[in-house]
Amino acid sequence: MINHNYFYLFISFLLGSAIASFLYAWAMRICQTGETILDPSKCRFCEKKLSPLELIPILSWLIQRGRCYCQKHRLSSGYFISEIVLSSAFVTIGYNYPMLDALFLSFFASALLFFFLTDAMHQVLYLPMMVLNGIVGFFYLSYYQDQSIAISLGGIFLGFAVLYSINFIYLKIKQRQGFGSGDKFLLASIGAWLGPMKVIKLLFLASWLGVIYALFLMYKGRANLLTKLPLGLFLSLATPIIYLT
Q: What is the pLDDT of residues 228-243, one digit of tens each?
A: 678 899 999 999 999 9
Residue ranges of domains in the chain: 1-96, 99-245
Q: Is the pLDDT of residue 74 over 60?
A: yes
Please state, in angstroms and rounded to a whole number, the distance separating the CA atoms of residues 24 and 77: 11
Buried b / exposed e across 162-200, counting CB within 10 Å, b at 16+? bbbeebeeeeeeeeeeebbebbbbbbbbbbbbbbbebbb
Q: Is the pLDDT of residue 48 over 90?
A: no
Buried b / exposed e across 86-104, counting CB within 10 Å, b at 16+? bbbbbbbbbbebeeebbeb
Alpha helices in 147-182 (DSSP H): 149-174
Give the mean pLDDT of 92-112. Answer: 94
Alpha carbon of 7 to those of 4, 47, 74, 94, 100: distances in Å? 9, 38, 34, 11, 17
Residue with the bigger pLDDT between 54 and 183: it is 183
Give the mean pLDDT of 151-157. Answer: 94
Q: What is the pLDDT of residues 112-123, one digit of tens each?
A: 999 999 999 888
Residue 6 identity: Y
Residue with the bigger pLDDT between 101 and 217: it is 101
- 74 bridge partner residues: 67
Q: What is the pLDDT of residues 183-231, one digit of tens each?
A: 999 999 999 999 999 999 999 999 999 889 888 877 777 666 556 678 8
CB 244 within 8 A of CB 201: no
Give the mean pLDDT of 105-114. Answer: 97
* pLDDT band at 3; cut points 50, 70, 90: low
